[in-house]
């Protein structure tokens, strides 16, 4: 039998090269975004001129700051996806990065102005909404159906690798001067723009089906309603729920670290914790997702991933110290989330005729969850208690686990080796 490595065709080699170039672009983009994450509570405290670092409004307003960014992504991701179906992936990615560079800088200049922070995040959300949706569509363009989870896994791993470096850099630089990580992000966006313009080729795209929802509807909510009522609507619902649960963590964790565990230097510690989560994402989505899909299939990975997230979130409030939290609840949360992302996107993309529109819709559900998740978490954090967002996420994931079990046969429909 021939060695599989020797049997790699020129088309396969080109596919892997293009995926590698795209993954590098995504990694640089996420690195620029993720440096901000450990800084949010300190930005809110400074922008609102609060003197008490234990003020619960820090967690609540931090959640709303994240929600405003994601709400814009929710509104604009389908537009960018459809536009990339028409004019190409590369021009949309370049336009997105121009906006990133401008509005990262604006956020950095708004250290003492909460209204400027909200304006910068809203505008950044509009432009950055193109990046991940179009990158996922690009990966789907260049991979055959049986390798699509692998291709999307590369994008997820690049996201994770950027997530490893970004928060750690943000934590180290931000403790010296709060605005420096934002200026660093703007420079990264410009570097990424130059890299994509020079090295990333435009992929061949499948023709868009006439009369598809992306071509005939303009309402974002109308598109989503039609998608939910369609044959794979339950996959979009699971996408929303998984992201909603994880967004409860993203929206409040740095404030939780500062106010629950009483870390004085929460910026640096939060950076290292987010880096730990990113390392787990890289290990699973870069090295393990392809053999796991071959062994278990996407439907089983979705069920396993949701079950792990349910266990992790329900145990999260019980961790007495940060070390226990990291080796206990945080581990199944990160692993479960890493399994769910590429598996759900792969199942959705297998049934799509226009990859940009389908994955733009998927990004819309992600963004709606990232808007409602931090907003819900912020409200619960202030008005119910610091652990309430994690109990909420655990309950949502427990319900989704039972729901996914009942839909396993439907998830498996249409999958061919």
CATH number, position 99: 1.20.1250.20
- Domain membership of residue 379 (yes or no) is yes
In this predicted structure, what is the pLDDT of residue 28? 75
In this predicted structure, what is the pLDDT of residue 290? 83
- Domain membership of residue 4 (yes or no) is no
- Domains in the chain: how many in total? 1
Q: Is 36 within 8 Å of 107 (Cβ atoms)?
A: yes
Encode the chain in three state secondary structure: CCCCCCCCCHHHHHHHHHHHHHHHHHHHHHHHHHCCHHHHHHHHHHHCCCCCCCCCHHHHHHHHHHHHHHHHHHHHHHHHHHHHHHHCHHHHHHHHHHHHHHHHHHHHCCCCCHHHHHHHHHHHHHHHHHHHHHHHHHHHHHCCHHHHHHHHHHHHHHHHHHHHHHHHHHHHHHCCCCCHHHHHHHHHHHHHHHHHHHHCCCCCCCCCCCCCHHHHCCCHHHHHHHHHHCCCHHHHHHHHHHHHHHHHHHHHHHHHHHHCCCCCCHHHHHHHHHHHHHHHHHHHHHHHHHHHHHHHCHHHHHHHHHHHHHHHHHHHHHCCCHHHHHHCCHHHHHHHHHHHHHHHHHHHHHCCCCHHHHHHHHHHHHHHHHHHHHHHHHHHHHHCCCCHHHHHHHHHHHHHHHHHHHCHHHHHCCCCC
- Domain membership of residue 211 (yes or no) is no
- Domain membership of residue 60 (yes or no) is yes
Q: Which domain holds residue 269?
A: 13-202+218-412
- Domain membership of residue 207 (yes or no) is no
Spans in the chain with pLDDT lower than 70:
1-8, 149, 160, 205-220, 352-357, 359-360, 414-417
Residues whose CB falls within 8 Å of the CB of residue 25, separated by 6 or more in sequence, listed in order: 93, 135, 192, 195, 196, 200
- The token pair at 224 is 């989503």
In this predicted structure, what is the pLDDT of residue 216? 37
In this predicted structure, what is the pLDDT of residue 396? 97
In this predicted structure, what is the pLDDT of residue 2? 45
pLDDT tens-digit series, residues 18-61? 887 777 777 777 777 778 888 999 999 999 999 888 898 999 99
In this predicted structure, what is the pLDDT of residue 151? 77
Torsion of CA 104, 377, 153, 230, to 10 degrees: -110
- Domain membership of residue 210 (yes or no) is no
- Domain membership of residue 21 (yes or no) is yes
- Domain membership of residue 317 (yes or no) is yes
pLDDT tens-digit series, residues 56-77? 899 999 999 988 988 887 778 7
Nearest in space to 123 (alpha carbons), one of 69, 50, 66, 202: 69
**Crossing angle, helix 298-315 and helix 233-259, to 10 degrees?**
30
């Amino acid at each position: 039998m021939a060695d599989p490595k020797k049997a790699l065709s020129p088309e396969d080699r080109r596919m892997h090269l293009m995926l590698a170039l795209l993954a590098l672009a995504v990694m640089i983009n996420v690195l620029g975004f993720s440096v901000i994450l450990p800084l949010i509570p300190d930005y809110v405290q400074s922008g609102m001129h609060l003197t008490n670092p234990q003020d619960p409004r820090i967690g609540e307003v931090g959640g709303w700051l994240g929600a405003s960014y994601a709400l814009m992504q929710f509104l604009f991701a389908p537009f960018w996806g459809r536009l990339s179906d028409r004019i190409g992936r590369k021009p949309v990615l370049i336009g997105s990065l121009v906006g990133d560079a401008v509005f990262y800088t604006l956020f950095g200049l708004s250290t003492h102005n909460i209204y400027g922070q909200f304006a910068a995040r809203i505008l950044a959300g509009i432009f950055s909404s193109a990046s991940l949706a179009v990158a996922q569509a690009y990966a789907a363009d260049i991979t055959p159906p049986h390798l699509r989870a692998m291709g999307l896994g590369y994008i997820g791993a690049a996201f994770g690798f950027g997530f490893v470096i970004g928060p750690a850099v943000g934590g180290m630089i931000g403790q010296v001067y709060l605005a420096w990580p934002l200026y660093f992000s703007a420079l990264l966006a410009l570097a990424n723009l130059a890299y994509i313009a020079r090295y990333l080729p435009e992929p061949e795209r499948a023709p868009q089906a006439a009369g598809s929802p992306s071509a005939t509807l303009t309402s974002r909510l109308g598109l989503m309603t039609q998608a939910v009522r369609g044959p794979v609507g339950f996959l979009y619902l699971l996408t929303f729920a998984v992201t909603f649960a994880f967004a409860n963590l993203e929206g409040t964790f740095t404030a939780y670290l500062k106010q629950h565990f009483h870390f004085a230097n929460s910026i640096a510690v939060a950076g290292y914790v987010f880096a730990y989560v990113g390392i787990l994402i890289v290990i699973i989505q870069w090295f393990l997702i392809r053999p796991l899909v071959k062994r278990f299939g996407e439907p089983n990975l979705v069920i396993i991933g949701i079950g792990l997230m349910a266990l992790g979130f329900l145990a999260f409030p019980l961790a007495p110290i940060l070390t226990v939290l990291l080796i206990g609840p945080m581990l199944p949360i990160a692993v479960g989330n890493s399994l769910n992302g590429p598996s759900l996107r792969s199942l959705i993309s297998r049934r799509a005729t226009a990859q940009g529109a389908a994955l733009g819709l998927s990004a819309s559900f992600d963004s709606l969850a990232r808007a409602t998740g931090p907003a819900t978490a912020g409200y619960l954090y202030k008005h119910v208690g610091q652990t309430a967002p994690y109990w909420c996420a655990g309950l949502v994931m427990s319900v989704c686990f039972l729901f996914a079990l009942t839909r396993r046969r439907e998830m498996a429909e249409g999958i061919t080796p």
